[in-house]
Chains A and B, each alone.
Chain A
């Protein structure tokens, strides 16, 4: 295994995050604070509690998921797309490095950044609302798995994209709506039965539900099912990436 290469890519990507700290960290934290103000204060004043949890606290896991999902995709997709765009991908392709090591470097860095961001948002949320994490190990496991899975997904988007529009289209048109409709700001049980059924086709529901369970032992679906869904999506992303490198899709002639 070419550990030095993995370290080089990882360091390179982390250095990029440090250079763009406002975009990588400050901006998502400000967005989260705004969500707290808008949803926590404005809506929270009307919905005081959900199953015994204050609304402000209730939305914390969903907000972390919202930011972690979008930032994982953004970080990983940009990380691999930019070398394609500038042409520096030639270095990666001509280096003695396997596809697994390439993914490990890029996805590892993107997932690390998202994890750090998730933990910062958690700390920020703690300033606004009282928080108690009933299952910290599960919370961390869900967070790490989500960071990895969606960084893999972002990597796929970055490989697939042949322009900045494509790079943005899936996060904007698919991920954001799915997250907003995936129980980030409400419990699925609050919806009419028809929309509850529709919601269960939304994969983000399982992520938010499982993550929220680790905080409050409160979930829309069984926690093991949530875990299985993340595992399924993780396997799907890994399979797709394996296929990409096997065929050279959008990377090699």
Chain B
């Protein structure tokens, strides 16, 4: 497990060097030393370095106020950076903003829609705004995919929250973007709709769209993402492939259900940092999957020597949520 900030930094640096050497030529977004300071001196982003690869789903995790939306806003042109630069498809987002913005779609966090427009009109408006000529067939295709076709003539104000969220996605897709930003796409959305959203996102990925989603629902990142970045207090504390991250940082727990309950853990076993739970009926041993020796054999042997017998055992793996909480907690 990573235990100190220095370890995080080292870990992060390793992550960046890995990215730069492995897939630089596939990067669709390159962020270099990006910082954003709000007056008088609030650093919303601090020296962010990140590369997003073509066709991947990248999840940016972080608590509220971590800087996720600020980062997206800068890439999309809604907010100005204080320093650093961002390249989209190799082009600068400021000097070549037309080229970069034309291939980006954004689904904002808030349900910011026109109230009095119809679904069809608002989606068509966005397509025009991004420089595309009218294409009713394409708009129809998107609305059908998002199950909005029946609502195409309805005013947005008459739609439910979930439907409004779909409208925002339809708007973001209306100009056939190569990159799609989803800023907390399932915030406030019920479980069923959330799963629908995940399906939509997966479908988009299959068509070659690169997807960057921010979320603080860990299960969403775990379910969807190819890679995960964790941001806290404006700093990107790590970027890693989801599977590697789970492997590297994931801890496992061995739960031993005892035949006879214990009042306390014997002193001899202190080095294993066992937890006695379930009213003394269960011992929990947490071990590092990366370690050369997990200590399980020795523990079981010492338990036997101590006359502690168990009737069942099972292991469980820590979730991304545990990893995230640990990282952010230690960082703060």
Contact = CB atoms under 8 A, between A and B. Distances in A.
Contacts of B106: 90, 94
A88 B172 CA distance: 12
Interface stretch (A5-13, A35-43, A165-173): A5-13
Interface residues of A, number: 26
A98 B94 CA distance: 11
A92 interface: yes
Given A90-B112, A91-B126, A253-B73, A2 B98 contact: yes
A4 B133 contact: yes
B80 A2 contact: no
B108 interface: yes
B121 interface: yes
A213 B113 CA distance: 46
Contacts of B79: 252-253
Contacts of B104: 94
A117 to B, nearest CB: 21
A92 to B, nearest CB: 7
Nearest to B100: A96
Interface in A87-138: 87-88, 90-98
Given A87-B112, A253-B38, A9 B129 contact: yes
Interface in B110-163: 110, 112-117, 121, 124-133
Interface string A1-28: 0101101110110011001000000000
Given A8-B125, A88-B112, A96 B78 contact: no
A24 to B, nearest CB: 14
Contacts of B73: 253
Nearest to A98: B98
Contacts of A253: 36, 38, 73, 78-80
Contacts of A9: 129
> Chain B CB within 10 Å — which of A11, A19, A92, A97 has the most?
A97
Contacts of B77: 93-94
A190 B97 CA distance: 56
B312 to A, nearest CB: 54
Contacts of A19: 116
A208 to B, nearest CB: 35
Nearest to A7: B128
A128 to B, nearest CB: 35
A12 B97 contact: no
Interface residues of B, number: 36
A252 B81 CA distance: 11
B276 to A, nearest CB: 52
B32 interface: no
Contacts of B126: 8, 91
Contacts of B130: 4-5, 95-96
Contact of A8 (B38, B98, B128): B128
A86 B164 CA distance: 14
B101 interface: yes
A231 interface: no
Contacts of A12: 117, 121, 125
A177 interface: no
B115 A86 contact: yes
**Which of B106, B126, B131, B132: most chain A Cβ within 10 A?**
B131
B116 A5 contact: no
A91 B80 contact: no
User: Most chain-A CB neighbours within 10 Å: which of B36, B78, B113, B116?
Assistant: B78
A16 B115 CA distance: 12
Contacts of A86: 112-115
B195 to A, nearest CB: 27
B102 interface: yes
A193 to B, nearest CB: 51
Nearest to A95: B129
B331 to A, nearest CB: 25
Nearest to B126: A91
Interface of A: 2, 4-5, 7-9, 11-12, 15-16, 19, 86-88, 90-98, 248, 252-253
12 contacts: A2-B98, A4-B130, A4-B133, A8-B124, A8-B127, A86-B114, A87-B112, A88-B113, A95-B131, A96-B99, A253-B38, A253-B78
> Which 4 pairs across A and B sit closest by C-beta, in order of nearness?
A8-B128, A87-B112, A96-B98, A96-B101
Given A5-B130, A96-B99, A96-B101, 15 more contacts: A4-B132, A5-B129, A8-B125, A8-B129, A86-B113, A88-B113, A90-B76, A90-B112, A92-B129, A94-B76, A96-B98, A96-B131, A252-B78, A252-B80, A253-B36
